[in-house]
């Protein structure tokens, strides 16, 4: 399956190769990067797609949000990506306000995973 190609991001910054070119990401990893960026984009933030995004940023440092709400939002974002097998999507709490999202891109050999610490506001 062709998952597409995009700029490689690390800590939400574009990565450059040693010779100064922009590093690229493709394959199943680009699916994970795209889902991560969706989770970090508030709805309405993109002028060309007002419906894109997630409410995850609203959960940062919010001790009143329950785990089920966060898990549901993580799973919703992964299932919304047509390149993901919806039956493979599983999110769980791994610690206090820490979460892991696992999913299998269609046709991939191994699952992808994203981890979030809502106490710090960063993906690990």
For the chain, give every domain's residue range. 28-123
Residue 120: predicted pLDDT: 67
88-106 pLDDT, tens digit per residue, is 999 999 998 999 999 999 9
Q: pTM score > 0.75 for this model?
A: yes
Reduce the secondary structure of the chain to three states and give it as a string.
Answer: CCCCEEECEECCEECECCCCCECEEECHHHHHHHHHHHHCCCCCCCCCCCCCCCCHHHHCCCCCCCHHHHHHHHHHHHHCCCCECHHHCEEEEEECCEEEEEECECCCCCCEEEEEECCCCEEC
Of the options 3.10.450.40, 3.40.980.10, 3.40.50.300, 3.90.550.10, the CATH number for the domain spanning 28-123: 3.10.450.40
Distances (CA, A) of 35 to 53, 56, 63, 81, 112: 9, 12, 24, 7, 11
More confident residue, 1 or 67: 67
105-124 pLDDT, tens digit per residue, is 999 999 999 999 998 654 55
């Amino acid at each position: 399956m062709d998952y597409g190609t995009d700029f490689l991001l690390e800590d939400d910054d574009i990565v450059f190769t040693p010779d100064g070119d922009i590093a690229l990401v493709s394959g199943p990893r680009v699916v994970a990067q795209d889902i991560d960026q969706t989770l970090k984009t508030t709805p309405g933030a993109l002028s060309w797609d007002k419906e894109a995004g997630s409410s995850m940023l609203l959960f940062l440092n919010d001790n009143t949000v329950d785990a089920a709400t966060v898990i549901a939002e993580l799973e919703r974002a992964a299932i919304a990506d047509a390149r993901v097998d919806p039956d493979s999507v599983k999110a769980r709490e791994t610690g206090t306000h820490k979460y892991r999202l696992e999913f299998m891109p269609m046709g991939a050999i191994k699952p992808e995973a994203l981890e979030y610490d809502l106490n710090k506001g960063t993906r690990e």
